[in-house]
Amino acid sequence: MDAYNGSGAGMTRQLKLGAFMRPISIHTASWRYPGGTPDGNFNWPLIKRLAQTLEAGKFDAFFMADHLAVLNMPIDGLKRSATVTSFDPLTLLPALAAVTEEIGLIATGSTTYNEPYHIARKFASLDHISGGRAGWNVVTSGNPTEAWNFGREEHWEHAVRYARAREFFDVVTGLWDSWADDAFIRDVENGVYFDPAKLHVLDHKGEFLKVRGPLNIARPIQGWPVIVQAGASDAGRQLAAETAEVIFGAASSLRDGRAFYADVKGRMDKLGRDRDGLKVLPGAFVVVGDSVEEARDKRAVLDSLVHYDSAIASLSSQLGADVSQFDPDGPLPENLPPTKGSQSGRDRLVEAATRNNFTIRQLAQRVGGFAGLAFVGTPATIADEMEEWLVNDACDGFNVMFPYLPGGLDDFVQKVVPELQRRGLFRREYEGKTLREKLGLKRPDNQFFRG
Contact set with ligand FMN (CB under 6 A):
65-67, 108, 137, 139-143, 230-233, 235-236, 248, 250, 283, 399
User: H or E stretch including 316?
Assistant: helix 308-319
- Sequence length of the chain is 451
Question: Shortest gap between Cβ of 106 and ligand FMN (angstroms)?
Answer: 10
Phi-psi region of 132 (alpha: psi -120 to 50; beta: other; left: phi over 0): left
Q: Is 269 helix (H, G, I), strand (E, B) or coil?
A: helix
* DSSP character at residue 416: I
* Residues linked to residue 377 through DSSP beta bridges, in sequence order: 288
C-beta separation of 135 from 226 below 8 A: yes
| Number of CB atoms found within 10 A of residue 335's CB | 4
Q: List C-alpha distances in Å: 178 to 198, 220, 442.
A: 8, 10, 19
The separation between the first and the last C-alpha atoms of the chain, rounded to the nearest angstrom, is 49
Nearer to ligand FMN by C-beta: 21 or 376? Answer: 21
Phi and psi angles of residue 229, each rounded to the nearest 5 degrees, phi first: -145, 170
CA geometry: angle 63, 68, 73, nearest 5 deg: 105
Question: Shortest gap between Cβ of 69 and ligand FMN (angstroms)?
Answer: 10
Question: Shortest gap between Cβ of 342 and ligand FMN (angstroms)?
Answer: 11
* DSSP character at residue 276: G
Question: Shortest gap between Cβ of 240 and ligand FMN (angstroms)?
Answer: 9
User: H or E stretch including 347?
Assistant: helix 343-356
Which amino acid is present at 253? S
Question: Shortest gap between Cβ of 271 and ligand FMN (angstroms)?
Answer: 18
Nearer to ligand FMN by C-beta: 233 or 291? Answer: 233
CA geometry: angle 8, 14, 19, nearest 5 deg: 125
Nearer to ligand FMN by C-beta: 110 or 378? Answer: 110
Question: Shortest gap between Cβ of 233 and ligand FMN (angstroms)?
Answer: 3
**Paired sense of beta strands 204-205 and 210-211, if any:** antiparallel
Cis peptide bond upstream of 282, omega within 30: no
* Residues linked to residue 107 through DSSP beta bridges, in sequence order: 64, 136
Radius of gyration of the chain (CA): 23
| Number of CB atoms found within 10 A of residue 221's CB | 21
Question: Shortest gap between Cβ of 150 and ligand FMN (angstroms)?
Answer: 13
Question: Shortest gap between Cβ of 191 and ligand FMN (angstroms)?
Answer: 45
Nearer to ligand FMN by C-beta: 149 or 324? Answer: 149
Question: Shortest gap between Cβ of 283 and ligand FMN (angstroms)?
Answer: 4
Question: Shortest gap between Cβ of 189 and ligand FMN (angstroms)?
Answer: 48
Nearer to ligand FMN by C-beta: 163 or 250? Answer: 250
Q: Is 141 helix (H, G, I), strand (E, B) or coil?
A: coil
Residue whose beta carbon is closest to ligand FMN? 236
